[in-house]
Amino acid sequence: MAKLFTPYTIRGVEFKNRIVMAPMCMYSCHNFDGKVEDWHKIHYATRAVGQVGLIIVEATAVLPEGRISDRDLGIWSDDHVEGLSEIVRLMKQHGAKTGIQIAHAGRKATVEGDIYAPSAIRFNEQYKTPVEMSLAEIRETIDAFKDAAIRAKKAGFDVIELHAAHGYLINEFLSPLANERTDEYGGPSEKRYRFLREIIDSVRSVWDGPLFVRISAEDYADGGMSTSQYIEMVNWMKTQDVDLIDVSSGAVVPAKIDAYPGYQVPFSEQIRKETGIATGAVGLITTGLQAEEILKNERANVVLLARELLRNPYWPYSAAKELGVAIEPPKQYDRGWNF
């Protein structure tokens, strides 16, 4: 049996296979209100029909000013729960487990008005200069992550992922390239970690389900974070009951990245081996054999696919065929397999 199609259980939640759909912004809230629309219902449910084991819904903003764009999904109000519950219901109907990535865009927000970050340094000329967050604003943002977790639970999600990667707010606190604070939230690694530490503690006080954190394990820039430096922070996350690290990289500062098949897998492997925490590998994973290599060589516990699942929502069927595994299609599609 291919490992890709063996179940994986975290905190009593069983994913039927190790295929995870990575969070991907759909920029499809046409009323700029963060609410689920028909597009989201069809898009996410289709990947569930496609037999993806765990589907992680796109970066969903914990505060309106924390949106990457004004078309992002939101979870900053109780009014968002109904639409999110609907996509959870549709995904579950087809046997997928459901996750949501809760996020704040920090200095990479492109919405109207002020934007916020640990320090008043803009990402590049195309972005606004952010307001340096006060201690009160930091507290409010931590509470917003907690409220988002309460709402995610109400909506019925199985997994919460904190977006601490790609140069968004949490990542900005973690990396010395974006955090020049001199108070208790900046300086040495322990202080740069404090914002994430407090978010994890707040979320964990209301959420006992599987908790993932997505990190950018490499900043690809002098003076930035490397995987080796992240080992210390991941060990802290482990003591705070984080279950899995979703290992991505880059985007905290503009940098050239040499992306090739599996380019981020070594970061996942290093974190898994050196901390013993479960990891997910992501980045240009496109074939069943490639996924199987990663899992069998214990370089990650699950694989996340993004763009390949945009091209082919039924990718799990192709991967199963490639690996010689029979997986059950939905009854309605039987004749596509047994003719």
Chain contacts with ligand FMN (rule: CB under 6 A): 22-25, 58-59, 101, 163, 165-166, 214, 248, 282-285, 305-308
At CA 56, angle to CA 204 and CA 298, rounded to 5?
85
Residue 276 backbone zone (phi > 0: left; psi -120 to 50: alpha; other: beta): left
| CB of 147 closer than 8 Å to CB of 162 | no
| Alpha carbon distance 100, 236 (integer Å) | 22
Nearer to ligand FMN, 90 or 285 (CB): 285
Question: Using N-to-C axis directions, what is the helix angle for 189-204 and 135-155, rounded to 10°?
Answer: 40
242, 182, 251: which is closest to 218 by C-alpha?
A: 251
| Alpha carbon distance 133, 141 (integer Å) | 10
Q: How far is the CB of 273 from ligand FMN (least distance, A)?
A: 21
Nearer to ligand FMN, 111 or 181 (CB): 111
- Token readout for 67 is 């949106």
Nearer to ligand FMN, 130 or 280 (CB): 280
Q: How far is the CB of 23 from ligand FMN (least distance, A)?
A: 4
CA dist list (Å): 255 to 105, 106, 167, 219, 328: 18, 18, 11, 8, 43
Nearer to ligand FMN, 25 or 150 (CB): 25
Q: How far is the CB of 315 from ligand FMN (least distance, A)?
A: 10
Q: How far is the CB of 309 from ligand FMN (least distance, A)?
A: 8
Q: How far is the CB of 242 from ligand FMN (least distance, A)?
A: 16
